[in-house]
């Protein structure tokens, strides 16, 4: 089996009207962007193994930005990145921030990733980009917000 191909982050980190929190300073934007880049790096570990679906990565940071959990979708049909990261972080998830390279998508309507984040007590979720499939785009964001989780979308 060939090693996953390393590649540069394929999405722009943008600031603008898509943000739900416009009062953030440039320092916090830089922190968010760095964790999103790490989530994208994790997602790239499964390049070519999740086809035809996108690659997902998740980083959970607690307190002053300490990484307490990470995960990525190994292959289609395996444990979601968010679930892996929550399991790795355990109780440290409470009031932490989850960084996702991409909005979770669940074509079966189970919202496994969203449920894991909510049940773990994640306070804030930062998403690099919305889901590329129109019928899934926005559903995880709406589900998280309906549970009282702050969601910021960078791009």
Instruction: Cite the active site residues.
Output: 82
Name residue, tokens 């880049």. 37
Q: How many CA atoms lie within 13 A of 72 on its CB side?
A: 21
> Distance (Å, rounded) from C-alpha 125 to C-alpha 103?
10
């Amino acid at each position: 089996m060939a090693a996953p191909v390393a590649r540069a982050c394929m999405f722009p980190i943008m600031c603008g009207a898509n943000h739900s929190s416009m009062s953030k300073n440039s320092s916090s934007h830089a922190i968010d962007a760095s964790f999103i880049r790490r989530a994208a790096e994790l997602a790239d570990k499964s390049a070519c193994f999740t086809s035809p679906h996108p690659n997902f990565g998740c980083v959970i940071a607690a307190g002053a930005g300490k990484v307490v959990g990470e995960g990525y979708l190994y292959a289609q049909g395996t444990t979601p990145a968010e679930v892996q990261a929550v399991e790795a972080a355990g109780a440290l998830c409470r009031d932490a921030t989850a960084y996702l390279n991409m909005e979770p998508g669940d074509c079966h309507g189970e919202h496994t990733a969203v449920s894991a984040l909510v049940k773990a007590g994640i306070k804030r979720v930062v998403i690099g980009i919305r889901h590329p499939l129109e019928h899934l785009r926005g559903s995880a964001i709406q589900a998280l917000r309906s549970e009282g989780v702050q969601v910021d979308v960078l791009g």
